[in-house]
Amino acid sequence: MSLTLEQVRRVAHLARIEISNAEAENTLGHLNGIFTLIEDMQAVDTRGVEPMAHAQDLAQRLREDRVTETDQRAAFQSVSPETEGGLYLVPQVIE
């Protein structure tokens, strides 16, 4: 199979990565090479094989419902691009 330029733009939009026309063209070539490699998988008959999501077939652990973390808001917000009064600032979304 072969991707189209439109599909590359669409996926870039889904992934929220701005992509120029030149970049999309270049990426298309690389992705098609990679998907040729990936297509190799389709030769395998996997009917009846249980998909393996994880190296250890574990159930998620549950923990006691109690407070385990201390308040570190100031420390964690100190690495943010923009905060004010303990809030993260982003461009206005709702008028």
List CB contacts of 5: < 8 A, sequence separation 6 or more: 24, 25, 28
Q: How far apart are CA 33 and CA 88, in angstroms?
A: 41
SS3 11: helix
Q: Which of 2, 16, 67, 84 binds other proteins (CB under 8 A)?
A: 16
Q: Which of 4, 5, 6, 38 binds other proteins (CB under 8 A)?
A: 38
Residues in contact with other proteins by CB under 8 A are 3, 7-8, 11-19, 27, 30-31, 33-42, 44, 46, 49-56, 58, 60-61, 63, 72, 75-76, 78-82, 88, 90-91, 93
